[in-house]
A and B are shown apart, each in its own frame.
Chain A
Amino acid sequence: MKATTDGKEWYGMVIDLDKCTGCGACSVACMAENNLSYREDETDKLRTATWMKLYRLNNGKPFPKTRVAFLPRPCMHCQNTPCVSVCPVNATQIDEKGVVSQIYPRCIGCRYCVAACPYHARFFHWWDPVYPKGLENYLNPDVSLSMRGVVNKCTFCHHRYQRAKDKAFMEERRELKDGEYTTACVEACPTKAITFGNLKDPESRVAKLSKNPRAFRLLEKLGTQPKVYYLTSQDWVRRQGDNYLEKEDLKKVS
């Protein structure tokens, strides 16, 4: 579903893969911020919910030319969302800031959106969430918990937007400063590989970085128009950002 893009805010993210060491801090920060639960055995990677998932890319060459690279994958918050329009009950929506939300109490758990998202950014809650004794203490009161049988996903830490807005309001400002609304993964990254902000503000760091010649987006040919951009100077990494025919040239960011 195409979102209305008339507003002044249009949030997006840039992840510099040249700077990403695959440390996983972003994933852990996301789980801690967003009250994700864990189970005893999380090794079935097809059923484990890490909103920020770390992919290990491989250049496929033989030893010792083999190289891996890391690609952290939040929800792309697609402008042209494959997931929103398919939901039969409007349980997932894209708002005027470009944030694709998920409303747990409304979701019926049909998983049509899961099937529609090519990025695997959506997670079905297969089990009742369990917080072993004591851990209920660290739950973030700003983030509601997803119950069994519904879908959950990265929200661009939307609760932080409200916090930033409240602060701006107290300081009698109507607009947010660059970086004032930022996400838990961005804050946590020890190499500062992730940048978040308003793509419509030409002065924001995220807007500038998204126009970097190193920038590309995942599966651009599908027309989803992700708002998460990646940067890389390595051709083999960039080539894995989309499907290419053998002789096809790398697509430059559009």
Chain B
Amino acid sequence: MSIDRRDFLKFVIGGAVGTVISPLPWVSMDEVARWTQRWAPLPDKGGAVSFIHSTCRLCSGGCGIRVRLIQEKRAVKIDGNPDHPVNRGGLCPLGLAGLQYLYLDENRIKAPMKRTGMRGGGDWKPVSWDEALSEISGRLKEWRQKNLSHTVAFLNGEGDGTQAFLAGRFLKAYGSPNYIRSYHSGELEEIVTQNMHGLRARINYDLPRSDYVLSFGCALLDGWGNPCWTAQAFEAWRQEDRQDRPKVVQIDTMATATASLADEWIAVKPGKEAFLALALAQAILENSGTPKNVSGLEELKAFLKKNFPSDLVTKETGIEQGTILRIAKEFSSARQPVALWGKGKGDLPAGLFEAQAVHLLNLLTGSINRPGGAFLQSGFSFGSWPQTPIDETARKGLSQPRADEAFSVKYAKTGNLEYRFFSNVAQNKFYPINALFLNEVNPVFSLDESIIRQALERIPLVVSFSSFMDETTALADWVLPSPTFLERWDDSTQSVGVPFPVYGLTKPVLPPLHDTRSLGDILIQLAQKIGGTVGQALPFENMQGAIKQTAKGLYDAKKGRISGGPAAEAEKNSSGPLDSFDKFWEQLIVQGTWYGEDRKGESGKTFTLASMPQEPAGLTEKQDNTSYPFWLIPQSLLLLQSGYWANPPFLTKLLGEETLKHKDLVAQIHPRTAKSLSLLEGDRVEILSNRGKIRARIHLFEGAAPDCLFAPLGMGHRAFDPTLSGRGANPYSLLDTREDPATGLQTAWATRVNIKKI
């Protein structure tokens, strides 16, 4: 067939006209537009909506949460439980991002695994739970038979709750003294109260009712203590119609959120908080009335005058005497003042000297166990539990010294020494450790990595219960993955830092996504397999049963109330709806929270000079100022998790350019200091300390103390999803941690560094 030009023209014109008048172009335009509307995934439409109350377990805050579910199988949102006495419907950003821990598939460990290649080589094979638990329980039995029960150690990052209680109880019945909690602020609190009050207690601050808050570097608004409790306090302090007009004074080295939003910020030289506190104590002793019930004050006065004269204090702290006198006057004449210690989030140990110096201010102003002050309270009572049954083997094992030297002659008052545990094992100090169980800890990230690795090399069996392949879990032999707090039975026995009892029940809001078992369930199953007194110590079918046992204690106390319900007091006489434990339990499951309302403190022995600590020599020994002319100050940020919990993507997304820029960590520095180093905004530097070096960019900030470098903690992971892995650097690796001889704890704060432009 031949087509001439005329035919061709006809065809083209005819075709064009035909196409335009046909529906084809219009339909296809429409279809194309519809197609563009499907470029985004469509959320799985609808279904019945329900809300389930539970308790957040991402920190020890114990906040009440309300999870929004679609068709009871898809969790789409975590909100705060409005009836919860601490968070009152609000939540901290971490809790709000909780679903990312649950659902982000890439980070979850999906089934029990056994290492196949080298330690840390990343080669794993999935195993069945039966196989894993049989093998581990077999080894545990073997050691017990050989009277080596004490060579089994358990390091737990989770402190409160029945699960941690079970872990402690398991080890006790099994016969090991080596149940070690990783550092938590309570550790030091118990030593402080023992020294100054003669009783071991937690210090819980009644912050919302305080009218003068003197904070020694505590990142009150960046995760110190319990974020939702400090938030409640902050709201209370800023109530427009409040009569007593509370004043917040922040002693800090940088214009942090807390320093800026405080009523006054006093810039102190790094690490000199204790001097300031003692100067204030001295001024109060000299100018204000002395409290009752405290002996030895005259000696204290003389001691302070001799050892901390005002010119020395001004020189050390950089703060004028006038300011010190004014603050002392304001503090002592406030009605309900309180002084707080624990720099940053309070998750790195402070020196005992500093903690006691600050706490002394509470003692001198009568703020102990007073509304708005510091309440000395013992922890949750597991009174409803019978004594742990102990057999001969266990008795022998428990009589062995602890591998971390806690409560030893040398560290008589310290309950847990995580770092010392690792360094002792690394040096083969007492006896070989045969097994280490790890729960919610990531010491490879937050402690001296080389020591941890050396220690782990000497331990033949390392088991991690982590839900995620964090840096420490990567070095384990077995991983027995936990379900997240949204998939398991668990509880929070105390909302940390809150001066009244709060119990939060955590329950599975949806079935486990993966083949996981909670630590509690695993411990119960291991105990049954081991049998004997160990089995008797944990006589439950599962974790739910153990929690019910704990909750029984709440019911029996006939105090407090279930959130959203009436007070138990009112119930007691009438045969109200909670007249049986079963009904109480049912209600607790529905509402999620039980709490008592009265703040009660335990009174202790009076203060005596004998317990006044001396400034420990080891801590202030001259650091090398010429090779390392600057201070590195680690920064705590609420939007950057720095402990076991790796930052969830939503929080990382919110980090400002003063924290992270592309793959670089950002450290803040005063413009003048930057200039002295010929550094410009955004320049890359190497930060060197005697421990190591990291790279960062710098951000100039007028509010940063000169000659200091402020580096946020929490980035620099090797593990986790791409929002974290390989991004930023880890300032923990620079921190010059030194042992506080008074406690054995590794204190770490300001560290001498050098800065080099690269």
| Interface residues of A, Cβ cutoff 8 Å to B | 16, 18-19, 21-25, 27-29, 31-33, 35, 38, 40-43, 45, 48, 50, 54, 56, 58, 60-64, 66-70, 104-105, 128-129, 131-141, 143-149, 184, 187-193, 212, 214
Smallest CB separation, B669 vs chain A (Å): 11
A contact residues around B33 at 8 Å (CB)? 105
| Interface residues of B, Cβ cutoff 8 Å to A | 33, 36-47, 70, 74-80, 87-93, 96-97, 99-100, 102-106, 108, 221, 227-228, 231-232, 234-235, 238, 240, 255, 257, 259-261, 265-267, 513, 638-639, 649-658, 660-663, 670, 701-706, 721-723, 727
Contact A141 B47 (CB under 8 A): yes
Instruction: Show 18 residue pairs from A and B whose CB-CB distance is below 8 angstroms, ordered by the A residue.
Output: A19-B234, A22-B261, A24-B93, A32-B650, A38-B653, A43-B657, A45-B657, A58-B702, A131-B41, A134-B105, A135-B100, A140-B77, A145-B40, A145-B43, A146-B40, A147-B40, A190-B90, A190-B232
A50 to B100, CA, bound (A): 17
A230 to B449, CA, bound (A): 47
Q: A32-B99, A138-B74, A141-B45 known; A38 and B91 CB under 8 Å?
A: no
Contact A137 B103 (CB under 8 A): yes
Contact A45 B656 (CB under 8 A): yes
Contact A141 B44 (CB under 8 A): yes
A135 to B653, CA, bound (A): 16
A contact residues around B96 at 8 Å (CB)? 25, 28-29, 32, 188
Contact B79 A140 (CB under 8 A): no
Contact A32 B77 (CB under 8 A): yes
Contact B90 A68 (CB under 8 A): no
A141 to B704, CA, bound (A): 45
Contact B41 A136 (CB under 8 A): yes
Contact B105 A132 (CB under 8 A): yes
A contact residues around B722 at 8 Å (CB)? 40
A43 to B513, CA, bound (A): 31
A180 to B538, CA, bound (A): 47
A contact residues around B663 at 8 Å (CB)? 41
A191 to B36, CA, bound (A): 41
A contact residues around B103 at 8 Å (CB)? 134-135, 137-138
A214 to B240, CA, bound (A): 10
Contact A43 B723 (CB under 8 A): no
A204 to B402, CA, bound (A): 62
Contact A191 B234 (CB under 8 A): yes
A24 to B513, CA, bound (A): 29
A133 to B228, CA, bound (A): 31
Contact B43 A139 (CB under 8 A): yes
A16 to B43, CA, bound (A): 34
Contact B231 A140 (CB under 8 A): no
Smallest CB separation, B136 vs chain A (Å): 29
Contact A64 B77 (CB under 8 A): no
A16 to B255, CA, bound (A): 21
Q: Which residue of A lies closest to B82 (CB)?
A: A187
16 more CB-based (< 8 A) A-B contacts, given A31-B650, A67-B265, A188-B90? A22-B261, A24-B651, A28-B650, A32-B96, A38-B650, A40-B723, A41-B663, A41-B723, A63-B255, A63-B704, A69-B260, A105-B37, A132-B104, A138-B74, A184-B79, A191-B234
Closest 8 CB pairs of A and B: A134-B105, A66-B703, A190-B90, A190-B231, A147-B39, A64-B267, A139-B43, A145-B40
Q: A62-B702, A139-B44, A145-B41 known; A28 and B97 CB under 8 Å?
A: yes
Smallest CB separation, A112 vs chain B (Å): 19
Contact A187 B703 (CB under 8 A): no
A31 to B41, CA, bound (A): 16
B contact residues around A63 at 8 Å (CB)? 255, 267, 670, 702-706
Contact A135 B104 (CB under 8 A): yes
B contact residues around A147 at 8 Å (CB)? 36-40
Smallest CB separation, A105 vs chain B (Å): 4
A contact residues around B106 at 8 Å (CB)? 132-134
A133 to B80, CA, bound (A): 26
Smallest CB separation, B665 vs chain A (Å): 11
A contact residues around B89 at 8 Å (CB)? 187
Q: A27-B93, A31-B650, A105-B37 known; A43 and B661 CB under 8 Å?
A: yes
B contact residues around A23 at 8 Å (CB)? 92-93, 221, 227, 231, 638-639
A contact residues around B221 at 8 Å (CB)? 21-23
Smallest CB separation, B34 vs chain A (Å): 8
Contact residue among A50, A105, A143, A149 (Cβ-Cβ distance under 8 Å from B654) = A50
Most buried by B among A16, A58, A132, A193: A132
Q: Which residue of A lies closest to B235 (CB)?
A: A191
Contact residue among A50, A133, A188 (Cβ-Cβ distance under 8 Å from B105) = A133
A contact residues around B42 at 8 Å (CB)? 144-145
A22 to B256, CA, bound (A): 11
Contact A128 B39 (CB under 8 A): yes
Contact A32 B97 (CB under 8 A): yes
Smallest CB separation, B319 vs chain A (Å): 10
B contact residues around A132 at 8 Å (CB)? 104-106, 721
B contact residues around A148 at 8 Å (CB)? 39-40
Contact A50 B37 (CB under 8 A): no
A250 to B215, CA, bound (A): 33
Contact A191 B90 (CB under 8 A): yes
A contact residues around B46 at 8 Å (CB)? 141
